[in-house]
Amino acid sequence: MRPQGSQTPIASWRAVLFDLDGTLADTVDLILRSFRHTMDAHLGEVPPDARWLETIGRPLRDSLRLFARSSEEASLMAETYVTFQRACHDDLVSHYREVPELLAGLAAAEIPLAVVTSKRREMALRTLDRCGLGRYFEHVVCADEVERGKPDPEPVYLAVTRLGVPAGPDVLFVGDSVFDMRAGRAAGVSTGAALWGPIDREVLAAENPDHWLGGPLEVLDLVRPSGTGPQRP
């Protein structure tokens, strides 16, 4: 069995995968505004934000089905949500502090990088572009490219396949949600819980992540064992 909650670096990561929302990009305000607008438009009332935050990390339509009264309404909700998000996206999205330094350090170590997100490709690429992060990633795996999104391991498998590496504990998947942790665990890769996102540590603890990450640059501590490898900027 792999140790749970270990902070021991692996000498050579074959690849590092990242979730997007809540991990690389601070999109929480955008997500919550889109949720409130959609619920008000379709239900005439807005459930507590906490209920929507519990769904972060899943494909949008899967999450909306928890609130819609029918599959048809869920589809209409998705259209409303995406339309609203397109209109205000650029004003409400930014990268988390230290993320550019983290990605530059991983690139300097020549570690293959990919994004594994529950966003659809259009908005995922727009978010990466707005945050100035797209150049660091060889591949971006999105919800509209798989049959089963997170927490199913399919998106993780697709990412490592595209990177040309096998899924195993020497691949690290960094994310902020329970769905990231479950997808990574099911795929057999190591998981890193990003504590700078919107999900509380107590919630993530139930998933037994392999690594706890208090800030983005702590990822670099996992790729420079014994004083070697990339240094923090």
Amino acid of residue 176:
D
- Whether 138 and 112 have beta carbons less than 8 Å apart is answered as yes
Rounded to two decimals, the pTM is 0.88
Q: What is the pLDDT of residue 98?
A: 97
- Model confidence over 170-201: pLDDT tens digits? 999 999 999 999 999 999 999 999 999 999 99
Strand ranges of the sheet holding 171-175, from the earlier edge strand across to the other edge = 139-141, 113-116, 15-18, 171-175, 190-194, 211-213
pLDDT classification of 100: cutoffs 50, 70, 90: very high
pLDDT classification of 224: cutoffs 50, 70, 90: low
Q: How many structural domains are present in the chain? A: 2
Q: Which residue in 19, 26, 180, 210 is the catalytic one?
A: 19
Indicate if 32 and 108 belong to the same structural domain: no
What rounded mean pLDDT belongs to the chain?
91
Distance CA 92, CA 80 (A): 17
DSSP 163: H
- Model confidence over 36-75: pLDDT tens digits? 999 999 999 999 999 999 998 889 999 999 999 999 999 9
Distance CA 173, CA 220 (A): 13
Q: What is the pLDDT of residue 7?
A: 53
129, two tokens:
């572009």
Is pLDDT above 60 for 10?
no
- Model confidence over 72-99: pLDDT tens digits? 999 999 999 999 999 999 999 999 999 9
Q: What is the pLDDT of residue 4?
A: 44
Indicate if 22 and 81 belong to the same structural domain: no
Instruction: Note if 90 is an active site residue.
Output: no
Q: Which domain CATH number covers 81?
A: 1.10.150
Distance CA 20, CA 230 (A): 23
Q: Where are the alpha helices (DSSP H) in the chain?
A: 28-43, 49-53, 60-64, 71-92, 99-108, 121-131, 154-163, 178-187, 201-205, 218-221
- Whether 35 and 118 have beta carbons less than 8 Å apart is answered as no
| Boundaries of domain holding 174 | 15-26+94-227
Indicate if 118 and 220 belong to the same structural domain: yes
Q: What is the pLDDT of residue 12?
A: 76
Q: At what angle do helices 71-92 and 28-43 cross, to 10 degrees?
A: 140
The average pLDDT across 156-166 equals 97
pLDDT classification of 11: cutoffs 50, 70, 90: low
Residue 233 counted as domain residue: no
Residue 232 counted as domain residue: no
Indicate if 98 and 213 belong to the same structural domain: yes
- Which phi-psi region, left, alpha or beta, contains residue 213 (left: φ > 0; alpha: ψ -120 to 50)? beta
Q: What is the pLDDT of residue 56?
A: 87
Indicate if 119 and 80 belong to the same structural domain: no
Indicate if 216 and 106 belong to the same structural domain: yes
Looking at the chain, how many residues does it have? 233
Is pLDDT above 70 for 101?
yes
Q: What is the pLDDT of residue 118?
A: 95
